[in-house]
């Protein structure tokens, strides 16, 4: 059996605006006033790590992971007041295709906190099972989150090992995480296309409409040298 691991924000859901607004406002509500919003400057691109860094830059005490539940609840409450999250074009149909026609195992690995992540999937009306969602509640590093998603999928689908694993995300950090874990990668979205191209990404798509997944499989899994390295632009 093959496994696909999805990032969520801007990979499956149009949620960057809602996420960042709720995240920053939640930090302000707990007294964090000096916030570095240049997200690419952080060593780890996860809610937990970025919160830790800003917390410790504003307060004298060390950040504790025990602070996460109250923070993510506050963040989720704020998100519920904002415009509902929608799917990235074609995401629902792509997930249904993978599950029903291709019989792929699916999991979700997000740098977001869990409750906001679940809310995004629900609002976008995308299939998911909470048992397959790995978030940053317990982890600072994306590698640990993706590894957790793999273990959750093994348990859920009752397999000891997946034949192939493909990670899908919109950020350069997603690509680097996949490489660090030695799994295949598909990039989505145009926001980071320059960074992706610098890294010689093998497969990239603007969105999930008209995405040729069979050709992507040829490139990533069969590795035919004659296949073009861009599936859809």
pLDDT in tens, 101-140: 999 999 999 999 999 999 999 999 999 999 999 999 999 9
Which pLDDT band holds residue 40 (cuts at 50, 70, 90)? confident
What angle is formed at CA 215 by the lines to CA 210 and CA 220, rounded to 5 degrees?
125
Whether 118 and 159 map to the same domain: the answer is yes
Query: Mean per-residue pLDDT for 63-84?
Result: 96
Whether 44 and 153 map to the same domain: the answer is no
Mean pLDDT of the chain: 94
Last residue of a domain, one of 80, 100, 129: 80
Whether 64 and 91 map to the same domain: the answer is no
Integer Cα distance of 21 and 137 in angstroms: 19
Last residue of a domain, one of 80, 107, 134: 80
Report yes or no on 23 lying in a domain: yes
Looking at residue 159, which CATH number applies to its domain? 3.40.50.1000
Integer Cα distance of 14 and 230 in angstroms: 23
Q: What was the pLDDT predicted at 131?
A: 98
Question: 184, 190 in Cβ contact below 8 A?
Answer: no
Report yes or no on 231 lying in a domain: no
Whether 8 and 43 map to the same domain: the answer is no
Domain count, the chain: 2
Report yes or no on 8 lying in a domain: yes
Can you read off the two tokens belonging to residue 125? Answer: 């009306």
Last residue of a domain, one of 51, 80, 109: 80
Report yes or no on 157 lying in a domain: yes
Whether 8 and 119 map to the same domain: the answer is yes
Report yes or no on 61 lying in a domain: yes
Tell how strand 133-134 and strand 164-169 pair up.
Answer: unpaired
Report yes or no on 227 lying in a domain: no
Query: Mean per-residue pLDDT for 134-153?
Result: 97
Whether 54 and 124 map to the same domain: the answer is no
Whether 25 and 116 map to the same domain: the answer is no
Whether 59 and 140 map to the same domain: the answer is no
Q: What is the domain range of residue 31?
A: 16-80
Report yes or no on 20 lying in a domain: yes
Q: What was the pLDDT predicted at 198?
A: 95
Report yes or no on 230 lying in a domain: no
Which pLDDT band holds residue 233 (cuts at 50, 70, 90)? very low
């Amino acid at each position: 059996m093959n496994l696909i691991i999805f990032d969520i924000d801007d990979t499956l859901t149009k949620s960057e605006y809602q996420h960042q607004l709720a995240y920053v406002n939640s930090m302000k509500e707990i007294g964090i006033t000096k916030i570095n919003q240049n997200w690419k400057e952080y060593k780890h691109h996860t809610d937990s790590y970025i919160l830790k860094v800003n917390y410790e830059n504003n307060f004298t005490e060390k950040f504790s992971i025990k602070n996460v539940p109250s923070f993510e609840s506050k963040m989720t409450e704020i998100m519920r007041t904002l415009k509902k999250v929608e799917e990235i074009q074609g995401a629902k149909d792509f997930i249904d295709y993978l599950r029903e026609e291709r019989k792929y195992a699916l999991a979700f690995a997000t740098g977001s906190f869990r409750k906001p992540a679940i809310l995004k999937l629900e609002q976008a009306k995308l299939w998911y099972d909470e048992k397959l969602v790995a978030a940053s509640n317990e982890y600072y590093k994306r590698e640990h989150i993706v590894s957790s998603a793999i273990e959750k999928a093994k348990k859920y689908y009752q397999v000891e090992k997946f034949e192939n694993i493909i990670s899908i995300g919109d950020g350069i950090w997603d690509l680097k995480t996949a490489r660090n874990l030695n799994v295949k990668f598909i990039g989505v979205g145009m926001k980071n296309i320059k960074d992706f191209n610098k890294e010689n990404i093998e497969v990239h798509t603007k969105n999930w409409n008209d995405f040729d997944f069979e050709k992507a499989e040829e490139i990533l899994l069969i590795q035919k040298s004659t296949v073009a390295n861009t599936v859809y632009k």
